[in-house]
Structure 1
């Protein structure tokens, strides 16, 4: 039960008990430290060995623009007590769709290529009629009378 002086002194030294790291296969080992590190970057955005450029379709875009819409499936899922799951489950594969851009680029290209007229179009300028060339309007069947001849 007694320990030599050398071992007793080791109890009072800071960091007296440095243990080797546990194996990752041990259940109560350093699994918390491994968990804090998180997944490697290559596993965060890849799924089923798909390229990461296909992950640009948002969940909002999938639901409201109906990219992943399948008319063969019923519209609502139901709880299946035998399988203890919501059936039918949506497939877990990523969408193979073009990325979400909401048509902004097409709108800007249309705006940039539009020809703008030189004069501003308003209701007044569009409804304005040119005045006649002569100050006196002749009646049908009469000759023009110029003010200089009066």
Structure 2
């Protein structure tokens, strides 16, 4: 059954408390990233914002999904997360409310990602990056150590945009 689903079948709530159905992005390439404000990888917000600014006219969507699942590195409220991201990194791309990305309480999208990408695709730290094709299928994923401004990631984004 989960094999028939796509990323566009899931829904989040935005940081502002509004429904955020991923079906709104159907037909667009999407990068989904589990984020945290107090992590060694937090500066990746800057690179993600640059990817968003460079490719949003191509239809690319970058979606940040804050989570406090790893070492309590996202303790803030929705308002605190939004202000932190905007003030420190100029984040303009959409952000969801804080959710769980692992374990029994994981948001269903992250359970689906694990089913699609296999055990290693499940987020094991903050700033895992998931590339979703225009068809809603998981095309690629990158662990925290792959920066958004790396050649490897940029090539994957270019492939995503062309697919």
Compute the TM-score of the two structures, normalised by the length of structure 2: 0.18
Structure with the bigger percentage of helix: 2
Say which one has the larger Rg.
Answer: 1
Structure with the bigger percentage of strand: 2
Q: Higher relative contact order at CA 8 Å, sep ≥6: structure 1 or structure 2?
A: 2
